[in-house]
């Protein structure tokens, strides 16, 4: 096991649920409850020192019980090591703690996750939509149940066939 994962397992046995090394990347899986402490340790402790925030993003697995996966990617400039941290959360309560107090750069990244996937961040200073219009109420575009075509203002036209609906019967030919 990677030394970072081992140390995290030892120090946070209730929060860290697993780890994986694949394609040269280390991934650590956390529980939502108590994750903020782990993040604080990842940033502050000299043995981790993941001071550079690379990205916060999310993936949608609609068939799973814990539907959403929030993915954090950090980099340690002094140790030249990258880590991915993943948290699974259910659709019924899609909330995780915000890490803006630790990495300021997370503010826009978390706003984008909220905008695209509808995941809420507890303690975020300004959780609004960022790329979509503020008054957009069609849902969250990067969820898997949001279709690529056929949703939006085009729906208002009666002659446009609806996505997922049966096409209207073709008019019978005159002869």
Partner 1 sequence: MESLEKEKIEAEASGTATVRREITLSTLRQAVLNGLDSSIKTEQFLLNMGPQHPSTHGVLRVLLDLDGERIKKAVPDLGYLHRGTEKIAEYRTYNQIIPLTDRLDYVSAMANNYAFVRAVEKLLQLKVPERAEYIRTIVAEMQRIVNHLFWLGTQALDIGAMSVFFYTFREREVLLDLFEKICGARLTTNYYRVGGVESDLTREVIDALYHFVDTFEPHIKEYNTLLETNRIWLARTKHIAVITGEDAVNFGLSGPTLRGSGVDYDLRKYEPYAAYDQIEWDVPVGQNGDIYDRYWIRVEEMRQSASMIRQCLDKLPEGPFMTEDHKVSFPPKGRVMHNMETLIHHFLLVVEGFRTPPGDTYCGTETPKGELGFYIVSDGSGKPYRMKIRAPSFISMGAFDHMSRGYMIADIVTIFGTYDIVMGECDR
Which parts of this chain interact with partner 1 (CB under 8 A)?
A: 22-25, 51-55, 57, 59-60, 71, 73, 77, 80, 82, 84, 103-105, 107-109, 112, 116, 129-133, 141-142, 146, 148
Phi, psi (rounded to 5 degrees) for 47: -75, -20
State the minimum distance, in angstroms, from the CB of residue 23 to partner 1: 5
Write down the least CB distance from residue 139 to partner 1, Å: 12
Backbone angles phi, psi at 42, to 5 degrees: -60, -35
Distance CA 47, CA 156 (A): 57
Minimum CB separation from partner 1 for residue 134, in Å?
9
Minimum CB distance to partner 1 smaller for 2 or for 82: 82
In 3D, which of 114, 108, 107 has the Cα closest to residue 70?
Answer: 114
Q: Which is nearer to partner 1, 148 or 174 (CB)?
A: 148
Q: Which is nearer to partner 1, 17 or 105 (CB)?
A: 105
H-helix segments, the chain: 3-11, 35-44, 106-117
CA–CA dist 42, 29 (Å, integer): 13
Compare residues 41 and 142 and give the one whose CB is closer to partner 1.
Answer: 142
């Amino acid at each position: 096991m990677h030394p970072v994962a081992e140390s995290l397992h030892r120090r946070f046995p209730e929060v860290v649920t697993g780890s994986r090394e694949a394609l040269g990347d280390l991934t650590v899986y956390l529980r939502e409850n108590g994750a903020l402490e782990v993040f604080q340790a990842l940033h502050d402790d000299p043995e981790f020192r993941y001071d550079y925030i690379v990205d916060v993003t999310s993936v949608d697995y609609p068939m799973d019980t814990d539907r959403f996966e929030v993915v954090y990617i950090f980099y340690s400039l002094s140790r030249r090591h990258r880590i991915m941290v993943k948290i699974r959360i259910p659709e019924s309560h899609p909330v995780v703690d915000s890490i803006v107090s630790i990495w300021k750069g997370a503010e826009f990244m978390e706003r984008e996750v909220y905008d695209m996937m509808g995941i809420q961040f507890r303690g975020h200073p300004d959780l609004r939509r960022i790329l979509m219009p503020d008054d957009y109420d069609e849902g969250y575009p990067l969820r898997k149940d949001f279709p690529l075509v056929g949703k939006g203002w085009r729906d208002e036209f009666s002659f446009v066939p609806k996505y997922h609906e049966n096409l209207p019967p073709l008019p019978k030919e005159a002869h």
